[in-house]
Amino acid sequence: METVVAVEYGERNKLENSSATVITCSDYSKQIADPVVYKLARVVGEGIYIPATDDDMKAEDSIDHRSSLHFVLDNSETAVCSSNYDTFGQEFMPIDCELEGLFSGVFHYYFLMAPLFVAIFWFLLLLCYLSFIALLGFINVIALFLHFLTLCIPASRLSFLLSFKMLSRVALPIYASMSILVASTLLVHLNEKNITELLKFEEPSTQGERSDAAGDTIVDLGILNPKFEEVTWSDFDGQLDQSGFTKQSDPLLGHAESEPSTSTVCASWKPDFSTLKGDIYLDNLSVRELHATFKATFGRETSVKDKQWLKRRISMGLSNSCDVSATTFIIENNKLQKKDNVEDCNSEDKNHDKDYVTGLEGRNVSGDNILSVGHSQTIQMEGHFSGCSKTVDSATPKHHIAFDDDTQGNKRIRKPTRRYIEEVSESDYQEYSGRLVSSVKSSGNGQRTRVRPVHNIQPIRKPLVTRQDSLGGSGIEIPYVSRIRRGRPRGNIMSLMILQPCGMRMAARLVKKTHDGNDPQSDDEIENQEHKAATATGWLQHPLIKESERNQQYSEQSADLNNNSDDGHMDSYADIDSDDNILTVPTAKGGIRRKHHRPWTLSEVAKLVEGVSRYGAGRWSEIKRIAFATCSHRTSVDLKDKWRNLLRASFAQLPAEKGVQNCKKHSSIPIPAPILLRVRALAETHSQVSPDLKAVKFRSNMNYMKSGYL
DNA sequence: CTTAGGG
DNA sequence: CCCTAAG
């Protein structure tokens, strides 16, 4: 494992007039000519960087060879590398070309040459932030209003408002956290006037594409000696004959902050890792501590106050840095851990760890540059990313110039790129939404899937609590749920929960039946209307008043029965219905409610009664086709069952009550007495009733007639 | 497929 | 509401 590689500049030759350095890391093992180009820009004056030009490229041949490199190969010793980079150290700046969404030389060049674009980007970003905040605020105001509304009005009366209450409960924390995050990042960005910093945050979208195509690997190369050279990783079959690239811990930071100290590359670079003993939990550190850590890591101060950024930088720097190369620490979720704590660390490494660290410190003090050349990376991700990391890893074997023990687990670890995260989460989102849609659309297995999407998504999603949103690039953490629910009407969670299963089932039934649709409206819409009306209106009229009217409607337009004025008075019963719905929803949440139970609304009952009165009991298919044309979730069997129940109820109840009210004991829907009476009447006319009840029924029926409903 | 009935 | 048998 510990391999000491004596690095030599093989084909590099003398270079006296060094200009810029271009390190090209091309994957030859991959046929794709997609080399990752590392460029060194020349620093002209103060803070102005000029990418390596072609002329500079030519100078590649002439490379000063007086330098030697120190390579730290994992736990092994360091190879000697002495170079007189000091003279050049301040002249060149490496441009970080990490694939973590940073720019390539091309973009860098382009944007540096056109600051106008930068300004535009910045402006757009600001605009996005503002609109985002405004939108969130608006949503929250609504949620707040509804919340207080529910507080003022007795919930028992307007139980449907409970949904809004829940909504507000959900929306408030989400909004609070999001707004805080957005505001903080906004402030940070306002403080960070640096153009390159902005670029760094905005470019990943464009740059990431190429980067990911290259295999989504970070090749953290730094430049130890800022000399001019081109390193082509052509033969990377484990041989390390190529050289000249080393690590500078944080090249990007160097030019991003334009600090004078950063321009001194390696000479003045004295990280003090003595402060980094033990486990470092970046998440727990305050900004000040992060600054300290930053200084310890990079040997210089920083003015950045963005915690996320600092953490990222530090972790990146540490992982990239030779001092805390992958052999000693692993970085996981912004948590820097000694590898001893990690299982996958092989025993041999463990043995070396301590000595290694102490040795490192000593060397650092001595001022030597210790370099890590390991290029194997592992993308260590949390939770569901683990599966993908394998693929990425295997897809980039070429970068696996690991030394022997690298293959055993001493891999450099880094977080996935932003774009990667976004892609994965996006695909996940699509997958889930697709699942939802498909389950809605699916006709065959509607029974199995109709409930699941609503209730199961969140539990599934739970493990992945937050995701990093690319907005602003500074790591806004957004609950994953919000993304899932994106584009979905937040207004009516209740109806969503209730109607979703129904919609699916209805769709299933609809397809099954292959009705020639006489209803242009989708079932969901109809159901929505129905429930809205049900929840919005109270029971004002007696249903039977319109009986004759409805009969006419049956004859005229039976198909459109539900869409017209029929609904108006039909659903006038529906406060009870809505009440029931509300009561059943919590049970649905808890899963107590029966599997596919859908309570019968009074309008449905009335329709059923009407249908029976017209077509007679037993002709369920007929009734279903005509009276329940729009209620595709009720099958003829359902109608039959319901009728049976109604019959039972009517004959069980009528002797006890005197046409007063809904006194049904344990039924979810108290059925008004008039309906029961009518059921009985119909049953009698169809001779479904034992003759001994006829008299009673008839009398009560007369009573009902007299009581003034007519 | 529809209906009737039991669970 | 589900399942099944009978027509």
Task: List CB-based contacts (under 7 A) with strand C.
Answer: A 447, 594-598, 600, 633-634, 637-638, 641-642
Provide the CA A501 to C1' C3 distance, Å, integer: 21
Predicted pLDDT of residue A185: 62
Query: Which residue, counting CA atoms, is nearest to the C1' of nucleotide C1?
Result: A597
Q: State the pLDDT confidence band at A120, using cuts at 50, 70 and 90.
A: confident
Nearest nt (C1') to A618 (CA)? B3
Cβ pair A679, A670 in contact under 8 A: no
Residue A487 contacts by C-beta under 8 Å, 6 or more apart in sequence?
Answer: none
Query: Which residue, counting CA atoms, is nearest to the C1' of nucleotide B2?
Result: A621
Asked whether residue A620, judged by its CB, lies under 7 Å from any atom of the DNA or RNA strand B, the reply is yes
Asked whether residue A444, judged by its CB, lies under 7 Å from any atom of the DNA or RNA strand B, the reply is no
State yes or no: pLDDT of A569 exceeds 60.
no
State yes or no: pLDDT of A299 exceeds 60.
yes
Nearest nt (C1') to A617 (CA)? B3
Provide the CA A187 to C1' C3 distance, Å, integer: 64
Asked whether residue A515, judged by its CB, lies under 7 Å from any atom of the DNA or RNA strand B, the reply is no
Provide the CA A515 to C1' C5 distance, Å, integer: 27
Nearest nt (C1') to A597 (CA)? C1
Query: Which residue, counting CA atoms, is nearest to the C1' of nucleotide B6?
Result: A641
Q: What is the pLDDT of residues A586-641, one digit of tens each?
A: 443 444 445 667 888 888 888 888 888 888 888 888 888 888 888 878 888 888 98
Distance between CA atoms of residues A604 and A627, nearest Å: 9
Which residues is A526 bridged to in the sheet?
Answer: none
Tell me the average pLDDT across A245-256: 35
Tell me the average pLDDT across A539-553: 35
Query: Which residue, counting CA atoms, is nearest to the C1' of nucleotide B3?
Result: A618
Cβ pair A39, A251 in contact under 8 A: no
At residue A76, what are phi and psi to the nearest 5 degrees?
A: -80, -175
Q: For residue A541, give the nearest of A561, A570, A498 by alpha carbon.
A: A570
Predicted pLDDT of residue A339: 39
Q: Mind listing the domains of chain A with CATH numbers? A: 22-103+203-416 (no CATH), 116-197 (no CATH), 420-484 (no CATH), 519-709 (1.10.246.220)
**Residue bearing the bigger pLDDT, A221 or A115:** A115
**Residue bearing the bigger pLDDT, A182 or A530:** A182
Predicted pLDDT of residue A384: 34
- For chain A, what is the mean pLDDT? 47
Provide the CA A630 to C1' B2 distance, Å, integer: 20
State yes or no: pLDDT of A142 exceeds 50.
yes
Tell me the average pLDDT across A361-386: 34
Tell me the average pLDDT across A196-219: 36
Provide the CA A451 to C1' C1 distance, Å, integer: 15
Which residues is A38 bridged to in the sheet?
Answer: A23
Cβ pair A514, A681 in contact under 8 A: no
Cβ pair A499, A524 in contact under 8 A: yes
Predicted pLDDT of residue A114: 56
Predicted pLDDT of residue A128: 61
Tell me the average pLDDT across A560-573: 35
At residue A335, what are phi and psi to the nearest 5 degrees?
A: -120, 120
At residue A560, what are phi and psi to the nearest 5 degrees?
A: -85, 20
Provide the CA A291 to C1' B3 distance, Å, integer: 79
Provide the CA A536 to C1' B6 distance, Å, integer: 39
Provide the CA A605 to C1' B2 distance, Å, integer: 21
Provide the CA A400 to C1' B7 distance, Å, integer: 65
Q: Are strands A280-281 and A412-414 parallel, antiparallel or unpaired?
A: unpaired
